[in-house]
């Protein structure tokens, strides 16, 4: 095999523009930044316009309209006796939550034996089922 028999691999891309062949400008045109040795612009350069990699945000997204709820499992509500009305104010008083935030969500982990009335912003389906099974009620505020 000789150098004249070498061919690019099947399916490979060939270079569309060969420099240093033909006229004295070697396919670079006349003068200008790209005609000079070492000339050209760096990657991402957009002619002085603010490049896209600097215009786009680099970190995550924080939704300022998102609701931030306190999540409480049923096992935390087991301390209340039957007949008690559990409100956000009572949860703050007992130290179960430290701040009211945008409300309270009652989650279904754990069991509850006492019939209590729970006033919260949201209930999971399993939590609602367990509270009503124990004889209590769920009220969405």
Q: What is the pLDDT of residues 11-20, one digit of tens each?
A: 887 766 666 6
Measure the CA–CA gap between 46 and 44, rounded to whole angstroms.
Answer: 6
pTM for the whole structure: 0.57
Domain boundaries, the chain: 70-140
Measure the CA–CA gap between 128 and 136, rounded to whole angstroms.
Answer: 9
List residues bridging with 118 in a β-sheet: 86, 138
Inter-CA distances, 13 with 8, 21, 63, 87, Å: 8, 19, 45, 70
pLDDT tens by residue, 44-78: 999 999 999 999 988 888 899 999 999 999 999 98
Q: Which residue has the higher pLDDT, 102 or 6?
A: 102
> What does the pLDDT read at residue 68?
94
The CATH number of 70-140 is which of 3.40.50.300, 3.30.70.890, 3.40.30.10, 3.100.10.10? 3.100.10.10
Torsion over CA of 81, 87, 92 and 94, rounded to 10 degrees?
-10
Measure the CA–CA gap between 128 and 107, rounded to whole angstroms.
Answer: 9
Inter-CA distances, 10 with 4, 17, 81, Å: 17, 19, 80
């Amino acid at each position: 095999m000789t150098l004249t028999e070498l061919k690019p691999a099947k399916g490979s891309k060939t270079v569309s523009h060969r420099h240093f062949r033909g006229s004295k400008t070697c396919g670079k045109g006349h003068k200008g930044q790209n005609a000079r040795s070492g000339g050209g612009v760096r990657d991402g350069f957009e002619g002085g316009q603010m490049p896209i990699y600097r215009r786009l945000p680099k970190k995550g997204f924080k939704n300022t309209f998102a609701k931030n709820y306190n999540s409480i499992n049923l096992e935390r509500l087991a301390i209340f006796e039957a007949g008690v009305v559990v409100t956000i104010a009572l949860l703050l008083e007992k130290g179960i939550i430290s701040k009211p935030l945008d409300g309270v969500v009652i989650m279904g982990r754990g069991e509850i034996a006492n019939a209590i009335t729970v006033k919260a912003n949201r209930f999971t389906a399993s939590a609602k089922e367990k509270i009503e099974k124990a004889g209590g009620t769920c009220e969405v505020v």
